[in-house]
Each structure stands twice: as structure tokens, then as C-alpha cells.
Structure 1
């Protein structure tokens, strides 16, 4: 076999492997939005104004325009947004949380965050219902990367203070029958800094009461409705920064969020 034929054979073999073996999803800090995804925040003030608003829950104390400050990225070039809204001083969640103007059902979400000080606290809410916790120093079911109050995460995956971290989340919304009765609970798979920490976890309820998000005040958080919801970021009076937030709409027919 001549050199040309050897190279051609090798190329065909490698191509066959590519189509037989599924490529791993790109996850972790710096992951770029795929084509067609919504870039929810790119570090610019215009992006914040265009895509986000205050969540008008029962404890709302802030008023537009959004007071979350655009700051210089303390690690890399570019800018980020700080969750330290003055209306939320003292840990008053629900007073100045921001939520996307668009609403979503099934999706893939990427969020990068940096905690500047010990005990820094915030959260990422899926459909403005289900909180994925951001909390420095806590490894419990109420702590870092936990599906709040239900599923703890391995704390050692956290990069620590002053460093960027990334959540990559695939989410399937709860399902309902034609009468509005809940038939399948919401489900999620989550990577934290590139490591899979939750796989096909069913989320049982909305925690935190009516100030936490949609349906939080309905039947103790178990009265989930079929209303789509936005992505919400929590303000609790802490210097938690966010950047590179994007979301891709999906249609997950089967109860499987693994990726």
C-alpha cells in the first residue's frame, strides 16, 4: 500500500470513530455559547438592561433601572456584574433579585460566578423556581452547588474565593396532564467546573416560601404550576460577580437530562 492509500485509510478510520463515539459536551469556565443560544449576559451594561429586570415578588424593594453594578473583571480582561444591590443589604433575598425577561421550559444553561468574600451568598434559579445554591463555606444541602435543601454537592469542586466558577445545567421542566395535574417533576443534570455533580435529579419542590420565586407560596412549595419562568440571579447583599451567561432552548421529550 502506498503512502497516499495509507493516509486515506487512516483518515476514513478516524472519521468513522468520530461518528460512532459521541463528543463530550464542552463544560466549565470559558465555555462559549453554541450557535442559536441566547447570550443573557456578556459583561456589558446594555446586555443587562436588554435581557434582565427585577423580579417583582412580594418582597421587592428595588426599582428600575437595575442597580447591579458593572465592574471590571478581577481575574481576566472584560467586565462582570455584581449582585451586591443595596436594596438586598442584610441578606434580604427577593428584594432585588433579577430575572430574565424571556421565559423557558427545557434548556441548557451556562453561568459563571466569582465570590469575592468569605460567606458570599447568591443563587441561580431555574424557571425562577428551583435554586442552585451559591454559598461560600457551606457543603451541606443548603451549600455550594446544592439543589437547594435536597441534594448536596462535592464542595472540593469549588475553585474558591476570588476565582471564576461555572455551572453547566441541563434542565427539563415539570410535566402536566391536560387538566393541569403534575405528572412528572422537574429534572436536572449539573456540571460544576467541568465535573458532573448531579445526574438526572428530580426536584421535589420550591423552597423558601413566596419570596423565593414562582410557586414558592403555593401549598408549601409543592403547588407547582405549568407556567414557564425565567432564569433568576439572587441578590443577598454579597459581592458575588457574574459573567458569560447563556441559555439554549431544548425540547426534552424523555425524562433524561444527562449530557
Structure 2
């Protein structure tokens, strides 16, 4: 018997058996149908998330004790003032930045603007900012009943994207930022994917996965220039803005 005939005969003999073993979808029990779309791997690792605490997988950048995770952008130790579990800008000493570099992160930080001095308004009303990768700023500003250009108010992507709403509490109260930052991606010098950011201000979504148009510029249009992971900066804008409970999770 040649091989072709033998193969054909074998298939004819086994076909009924195979058909008998097949179970039509409609004959499966509901739990069997549901099981077909269950994925069991990979299993997410467990992370402790205490109420009003720091997740167990977070990098703590400031816990109220010291600035050991930070340095001055001018070189040397960060010179801001640490007191009462908070760090306050020391005007004239310059921005501070993390010693560690980061790419995609979830950042939590709390900040407080003091009561404004007489005549202080607009961008001068206790201004600061948090810069991701030392380039992309989320504005910190006392925007409580303080008119200014909306793409420069608190929680704006500075000079780029206006917040959906103004969730700023009165001065003297602590504000909360929870920010998800997705870093831009480059192939050599070419931008392949822009950056994106989501900002939750005092529990309110004010930036909903918005595209970052490029570097933060005070004058001129934003632009991208290739870079890798980089530190986070806090801005010295000559105002006594305070920060506390700063931590992040690398994504």
C-alpha cells in the first residue's frame, strides 16, 4: 500500500472518532465557556496600599525629615528649608532636583501656598512648579480666586494645556497632586511617541491623559529634543511654597 493511500485510509478511520470528541460550543456549560477567556498569567505582584500612606513599592522622595534624595541644580546639597514635616522654597537658592532619574511614573505630592501679600496677584501669587524629566512642568500656583492666563494656573501643563476645572483650595491649606506621567519616546533624535500626563488635583481629574507638546517654555513654542530618563525638579520662583509627602512609583 502506498503512503498516500495509507494516509487517506487512516484519516477516514479516525475522522468519526475526532468528530465524536469535539464538543459544540452550545453544549458547553456556562462556566466552561467563561473559562475560555480566563487568563491566569502573569499574576500581578501584591502591593500594600495603606490608607493615607505610601504604597510599599514607592520611592519616597521626601518624608518630612531631610532632603537626602535631592540636590541643588546649581550643584551641592539642596538648600531649601525643612521644618514641621515640610520643605519650603528658600528664595534665591535655585531649583532642586532628585538625585535619581526617572521615566514613566506615578507621582504623589502635597503643596501649600501661604496667604498672599497685599497686591500679590496673577503669576506672582506664590508660584512654583514640578518639572518631569527637568523639562515638562505642571504648574504650582495659588489659583484660588486669582485670575491669570488659564494655561498658567495651578495644575496646568504650563503654557500648554488648561485644566478642566479649577480645584484649588484657599491659601494656607494643603493641596494634593496625583500625577501619571508617560515619558516621550525617541528613536535616535526622532520623536516616536509624545509624552502624556494625567493630573488629579485634590481628588479631581483636571488633566485627562493630555499630550505634552514639548518642553516647557516661558517664551516661544514648546519643542522636543531627544533625551533619556532624567530627574524631577521643584521650582524656586522666589515664593515661600511648601511641599510634603512626596513619593512616586515607577511604571
TM-score (norm 2): 0.70
1:144 paired residue number: 154
Q: In 2, are the aligned partners of 1:133 and 1:144 still within 8 Å (CA)?
A: yes
1:37 corresponds to? 58
Counting only pairs closer than 5 Å after superposition, residues 23-172 of structure 1 correspond to structure 2 as 31-45=52-66, 48=67, 50-56=68-74, 64-72=76-84, 79-87=85-93, 96-118=94-116, 119-136=125-142, 137=146, 138=148, 140-154=150-164, 156-172=166-182
Larger radius of gyration, structure 1 or 2?
2
Aligned CA RMSD, in angstroms, stands at 2.2
Closer/same/farther in 2, CA of residues 139 and 71 from structure 1, 3 Å limit: farther
2:21 aligns with: none
For residue 33 of structure 1, report the CA deviation from its aligned partner: 2.0
Quote the residue 1:243 is aligned against: 244
Deviation of residue 228 (structure 1)?
1.1
Match of 2:215 among 186, 195, 206: 206
Take 1:220 and 1:158, find their aligned partners in 2: how far apart are those partners? 27
Query: Structure 1 CA distance, aligned partners of 2:166 and 2:228?
Result: 36
Count of paired positions:
190
Conserved? CA contact 2:159–2:217, under 8 Å? no
Report the Cα offset of residue 246 of structure 1.
0.2
Q: CA deviation at 1:207?
A: 2.2
- Deviation sequence 1:56-105 (CA, Å, 0-9, x none): 4xxxxxx5332211122xxxxxx101013333xxxxxxxx1000011111
Post-superposition, which runs of at least 4 consecutive aligned residues in structure 1 deviate over 4 A? none
- Matches of 1:167 and 1:51, distance apart in 2: 19
1:183-204 deviation per Cα after TM superposition (whole angstroms, max 9, x unaligned): 1100011100011111110100
Name the residue aligned to 2:232. 231
TM-score by length of 1: 0.68
